[in-house]
Amino acid sequence: MKKILSILAAATMLAGVLTIQAPQSQAASGTYLGTYDLRGDGTMQMVYRNGGKLDIVDSWGGTRSYSFGNTVWAVGPVEDMDGVPGKEISIKAGGDAYIIHDRSNRAVKYPVGGNRSWAIVGTAETNNKPGAELILNIGEGIRVIRDSEGTYRDYKMPNVSWALAKIADTDGQPGDELIVNGSSRLIIVSDTNGTTREYAANSGTWAIIDAVDTNGQPGAEVILNFVDKVRIVDDRSRSTRDYKMNSYAWKVTEIVNMDGQPGAEIIINDNTKMRVINDRAGTIYNM
């Protein structure tokens, strides 16, 4: 288990990005992006991209406009990110991530900075506190923005090719984990306590298939394709289980609860023969 970096304060209140307009009789212009409850009062707001501005329009006609400077920008996930009623809008704008709190008519900037390529990956509840966290791929690692606290935390990845493959609760404790293919290892990040766990893979070909509860115990198991076998990583118990295949020509066709007992079974087409892994029982059998 490794402790990865520290929480860094990063929130900056923006001045001069918001314009509020009086109710207008004409229809809103621009590209329609969606309708959401952004104010937390049960009313719905319509969101438009209007040139270089993001316009939010109330049902009664009031409009609020947010701008992000002279840079290319795009809307990311729309989710409750601060634990207060009403959804927030995430924005990728140049070297900055923004989170719009339309309920309080403000935008918060989280600088990513540097000459780096980065992307918004998604949102997830990773720290067992109200509000989803915004997950970024910042090139050399993963950044988790905790908007409810106005902070972020970085998790540096190995100096190799890596990919964030899944987000799921793997240890059975509150808060989702980040599941990463780290080239020669599987990396699981627990943002709740700021730690990572590594499970050795190999230097050959392998892949993350899914993260599903297969043994009926709290937390999802991570299912790996190891070419000649299926490996199941039980992060809750920090253990792995292997199920040998009869050939290299196999694939998982479905993961479903077949027997009505806790935990899903893994159905595999193994060179035209159907086989089933019952991980709860630790068995594999032919259909």
Q: Say yes or no to pLDDT of 126 above 80.
A: yes
Q: Say yes or no to pLDDT of 18 above 80.
A: no
152: CB partners within 8 A, 6+ apart: 7, 8, 10, 110, 143, 144, 145, 146
pLDDT digits (tens, 9 = 90+) for 224-244: 999 999 999 999 999 999 999
Nearest to 14 by CA among 54, 41, 60: 54
The pLDDT, as a whole number, for residue 20 is 58
Query: How far apart, in whole angstroms, are the C-alpha atoms of residue 126 and residue 250?
Result: 34
15: CB partners within 8 A, 6+ apart: none
42: CB partners within 8 A, 6+ apart: none
pLDDT digits (tens, 9 = 90+) for 59-78: 888 999 999 999 999 999 99
Length of the chain measured in residues: 287
Please state the pTM of the whole predicted model: 0.88
The pLDDT, as a whole number, for residue 132 is 98
Query: How far apart, in whole angstroms, are the C-alpha atoms of residue 285 and residue 266?
Result: 11
The pLDDT, as a whole number, for residue 113 is 82
pLDDT band at 203 (very low <50, low <70, confident <90, very high): low
pLDDT band at 162 (very low <50, low <70, confident <90, very high): very high
Q: How many CA atoms lie within 13 A of 132 on its CB side?
A: 18
What is the mean pLDDT of the segment spanning 17-28? Answer: 54
Q: Say yes or no to pLDDT of 15 above 60.
A: no
What's 218's DSSP letter? S
What share of the chain in percent tops pLDDT 90? 82
DSSP 97-130: EEEEEGGGTEEEEEE--SS---EEEEEE--SSSS
